[in-house]
Amino acid sequence: MSAVAAPGGWRGSLPLLAWRAATSLAAPLLPLWLARRARRGKEDPARLRERRGEGADRPAGPLLWLHGASVGESQSALPLIEALAASRPALRFLVTTGTVTAARLLAERLPPALAGRVQHRYAPLDVPAHVARFLEGWRPDAAVFIESEIWPNLILGAAARGVPLALVNARLSAGSAQGWGRAPAVARRLFGAFRLVIAQTETDAERLRALGAESARAWGNLKFAARPLPAREDTLAALRAAIGARPVLLAASTHPGEETQIAEAHGLLARRLPDLLTIIAPRHPERGPALARDLASYRLALRSAGALPGPETEIYVADTLGELGLLYRVAGAALVGGSLVPHGGQNPLEAARLGCPILLGPHTANFTVIADRMLAAGAALRVADSAALAEAAHLVLTGTDRARSMTTAAARIAADAGALPERMAAAIESLLPTPSGAGAGPG
């Protein structure tokens, strides 16, 4: 039976039945919401039907569905897909995401050898009819949810159809665990639906086990096993030529409230390094023009306008998508954004893999384990504010030995997680049918 005809996962749970009813009632209004998001660039107007579960094109043979909400989750899935593809040559992959940016970067960074085996769709909205249409069309042999995407209709609908479910790279904050704990029966239904649960840390695993994922174990973070960010050679050569021998401070993936502090640090540091170039790469590139207005007192250039930094450029706003690999390669030191403000920080290992010395603000809760390890090993420096940022950047930009020791220590930490994708792939394979019985889907 279909998940619509026999919603066993919902039976006996009033909150889940209420969610199912509410999402069904809201369905007629969702096209208006999607159209509004499309006008703001947050949806692909040509592919809105995928959000209704339409557009299935199931390939022959075994099919693994992987879902990651946004950029970080979908990018961390790439080494996992590579490991599974090498182990199971007949396996095909469906990757769903919830954001336009994630879809674009997946297409750009997917290895060419895998392009014919991986299809992308936008995830269906968590409406029973949309979910049923999606599952009926694709009939995945197993499904992997990445990090913390818990959608009741999607999870219980797949489980009702017999699709084996895995939750990998799972993380659960104290606040989220407390929230789920207020509805323990609901949590047990949802987290207990996963046959395989692999958490990032033991703390995450403990929280998940308390909520019903009894087999949860901690293996580490897939983001730590990602491949180095790419950069086009011709683009890199052009940027290096424009910069010349100037010292470069990069502020990568910045958030509102950080850029003014970075500009202040530039002003302090430029007194000691007059030819300093500071590059600011906002986490959301569409903020570039607003940043240009906010920092109008500096000689500034915008990458989105096609400009390269000239000899007089003080601050270069790299408001383009998917170019951090380029920027880390030209920087002499990098502040990892989201850490000067209470956001929790972005992934410092992206810089570590490209040999760029790392500076971290006080807020690194999103990457506590790896940040603490880097700081303890001398692979990164902690900075509290703009003055400390200027001082630390000067230390790294003028101290060749210090920069070298930092990058060496960071590279060792980044290499430690290299075997995780293969280990995780082997666990996921246990959910798939044997090669002799693959291809029909569990529907």
Q: Is 194 in contact with 176 (CB distance < 8 Å)?
A: no
Query: Same CATH topology for 14-221+419-437 and 233-415?
Result: yes
Tokens of 6: 């026999």
Burial class (CB in 10 A: 0-12, 13-18, 19+), 223: buried
Structure tokens at 228: 């180095």
pTM higher than 0.95 for the full model?
no
Confidence of residue 366 (pLDDT cuts 50, 70, 90): confident
Give 41: exposed, middle or buried? Use CB within 10 Å, 0-12, 13-18, 19+.
exposed
Residue 4 confidence class, pLDDT cut points 50, 70, 90 = very low
pLDDT, averaged across the chain: 92
Dihedrals phi, psi of 31, to nearest 5 degrees: -55, -35
pLDDT in tens, 229-251: 999 999 999 999 999 999 999 99
The token pair that represents 385 in the structure block: 């504010």
Indicate whether 47 pLDDT > 70: yes
Instruction: Give the pLDDT of residue 3.
Output: 34
Lowest mean pLDDT among 1-5, 173-177, 282-286, 432-436: 1-5
What's domain 233-415's superfamily in CATH?
Glycogen Phosphorylase B; (3.40.50.2000)
Q: According to the model, what pLDDT value does residue 109 have?
A: 86
pLDDT the model gives residue 436: 64
- Looking at the annotation, which residues are catalytic? 73
CA distance 252 to 71: 15
Q: How far apart are CA 90 and CA 96, in angstroms?
A: 20
R_g (Cα) of the chain, nearest Å: 23
Residue 281 phi, psi (nearest 5): -110, 100
In DSSP notation, 246-269 reads --EEEEEEE-TTTHHHHHHHHHHH
**pLDDT at 1 > cutoff 90:** no
The pLDDT > 90 percentage for the chain reads 82
Residue ranges covered by each domain of the chain: 14-221+419-437, 233-415
Give the CATH class of 14-221+419-437.
alpha beta
Q: What is the pLDDT of residues 318-358, one digit of tens each?
A: 999 999 999 999 999 999 999 999 999 999 999 999 999 99
Q: Residues 33-37: what's their mean pLDDT?
A: 96
Give residue 440's pLDDT.
52
pLDDT mean over 298-309: 97
Residue 442's pLDDT band (boundaries 50, 70, 90)? Answer: low
Treating both helix axes as pointing N-terminal to C-terminal, what angle do 400-415 and 368-377 enclose, rounded to 10 degrees?
Answer: 140
Beta bridge partners of 279: 250, 316
